Structure 1
Amino acid sequence: MIVSEKMTKVLALYNEGLSLYKNRKFVEAKANFQKALEIEPNDGPSLLYIERCDDYIADPPPEDWDGVYNMKTK
């Protein structure tokens, strides 16, 4: 499978954002996901993690957070 240069950039931004997210750096993670969307506006995973970052920025997870996102609605 050949990955385009555009997608390579999106993946790099997404992966860095995911690492920041797992380290509870939600503002910085959100910025990475937003940069990925500037390149690929339909990037579903980045859209999802922006929502999760917004949730955790507004209401941070507990100190013993294991990285799992608990959905508020079904």
Structure 2
Amino acid sequence: MIVSEKMKSVLVHYNQGLTLYKSRKFVEAKEEFKKALAIHPEDGPCKLYIERCDDYIADPPPEDWDGVYNMKTK
């Protein structure tokens, strides 16, 4: 499978965002996911992580957070 340069850029921003997210740096993570979306607007995982970042920016997870996102609605 050949990956385009465009998709490589998306993956770089996504992976940086995920690393920041797991480090509880939600504002910075959101910016990386937004950069990926600017390149590939249909990217579902980036959209999802932006929503989760927004949730955690508004209401941070507990100190013992293990990285798992608990859905608030069904």
Q: Residues 20-31 of structure 1 correspond to what in structure 2 (within 5 A)? A: 20-31=20-31
Q: Residues 35-54 of structure 1 correspond to what in structure 2 (within 5 A)? A: 35-54=35-54
- The number of residues matched between the two structures is 74
TM-superposition CA deviations, 1:5-61 (whole Å, max 9, x none)? 000000010000000000000000000000000000000000000000000000000
The percentage of aligned residue pairs carrying the same residue is 80
Q: TM-score of the superposition, structure 1-length normalised?
A: 0.99
| Structure 2: gaps (5+ residues) | none
Corresponding residue of 2:15? 15
CA distance in 2, matches of 1:4, 1:43: 15
CA distance in 2, matches of 1:39, 1:22: 23
Residue 33 (structure 1) aligned with residue 33 (structure 2): yes
How big is the alpha-carbon RMSD for the aligned residues of Structure 1 and Structure 2? 0.3
Aligned structure 1 segments of 4 or more residues deviating by more than 4 angstroms: none
